[in-house]
Amino acid sequence: MIPKNKFQAPTGMHDILPPDQPYYQKLYSAAEGIVDFYGFKKIDTPILEDAELFSKGIGLSTDVVEKQMYALRTRGGDFLALRPEFTAGIARAYIEHGMFNLPQPLKFYSIGPLFRSEKPQAGRYRQFHQFNLEMFGEQTPVADAQLIQIFYNILKELKFKNLVVEVNSIGDSQCRPYYKKLLANYLKARESSLCADCRRRAKQNPLRVLDCKEEKCQPVKAQAPQIVDHLCEACKAHFKEVLEFLDELDLPYRLNPYLVRGLDYYTKTVFEIFQESESGEKSAALVGGGRYDALVKLLGGRDTPACGGAAGVERIVEHLRGAMKIEPGPQLQSKGIFLAQLGGLAKRKSLKLFEELRKAKIPVAESFGRDSLKAQLRSADRFQVPYALIIGQKEALENTVIIRDMKTGKQDVVKLDKAVDELKKQLKK
């Protein structure tokens, strides 16, 4: 038990310990392998950005900006915020570095921590990680469908089953204002049936009510007018093509007319990907995203169509941890070796030999901090290496090394400067 007077990680923030690291690496490796095929290039943006970037890009009336953003004033007077999401920062980088002058579309991916001060719960933390994809300069519906397909492929690569895509269109500046007015009138007549947050949202931004998860608001949501019935012709045609592409790709999707996502920059297509149990119970969203054609211009850039999405790393890792066992700790390749030493002079000789093995690209483990040869050989057994190199005081004085076959126990003594070449011969056998 940890004493109460000891420091602990802040509420909602967690350590990723060595036993958990392989699950994160498995996700990152699978995702990077797939997005590389589709031509995405990695981009890293600062963890701290100008707070106005998020309030302007995400929207002042969103929960993220109103309640969840970590903001601070620096000693120099700058008002900064820990990034609560990736897209606004990447759009800022796109504008700042003049990337609109490059051949379009541009495809980026990002991995890293994000920060939101919300109530911690299973798979959701105040410091969390996302795998993020963005496509700039592409307005065709095929981009929306391909983005969904890529995230779906990543989850399938990680052995997720019973995946379902939920998709909707929330229109654009041509058709959404009329729908928001229609929705606001509907909600006003049912104000007493809404939670406190949604009574406020109904006045500031009625679309946010459709994103509410409170049980009290669900009956009101279920009877609300649907935006797909009020799309302009351009948005309707765009969404129709997105669905046709999803049909062609044989992706399992269903329409969710109340899916709006929680950020104001979205236009037209929005989507989320879930895993369903055999009983039909839906998991928390593993992936979410959509199109944001107005964001780049809103932030001061040129009129640039764009779409993107993000996978929740902690939620995916939680599944991986329950579905598969990945051995933690240092893992040597099957042809790795263990380097053991005994005594001060032997330790110095071993350090030099260790570097020669590294240059020869021979995987090697060691335990330089231990003086007991017996304990070191037990470590060699744990690593299941075929050979151990042993340098004791005698060998150090004579510039030799013992090559021990860990399976048969046979030992050969060779000159120290010939050890790497001899080991290569043994490993080839």
The tokens describing 428, both together, are 């080839």
Domains of the chain from N-terminus onward: 21-175+231-323 (3.30.930.10), 337-428 (3.40.50.800)
Cα 187–chain centre separation: 36
Q: Which of 381, 404, 378, 389 is nearest to 346 (CA)?
A: 389
Which residue's structure tokens are 């397909």? 149
**Residue type at 159?**
K
Mean pLDDT of residues grouped by 10 in the chain (429 residues)? 73 92 95 96 97 90 83 94 97 97 97 90 86 97 97 96 95 92 90 88 86 87 91 96 96 93 90 88 91 96 97 94 69 69 90 90 83 84 88 93 92 93 86
Residue-level pLDDT at 315: 93
Task: Determine how many CB atoms are found less than 10 A away from the CB of residue 68.
Answer: 16
Q: Are 224 and 190 in contact (CB under 8 A)?
A: no
| 330 preceded by a cis bond (ω within 30 of 0) | no
Can you say how many angstroms the Cα of residue 410 is from the centroid of all Cα atoms in its chain?
Answer: 48
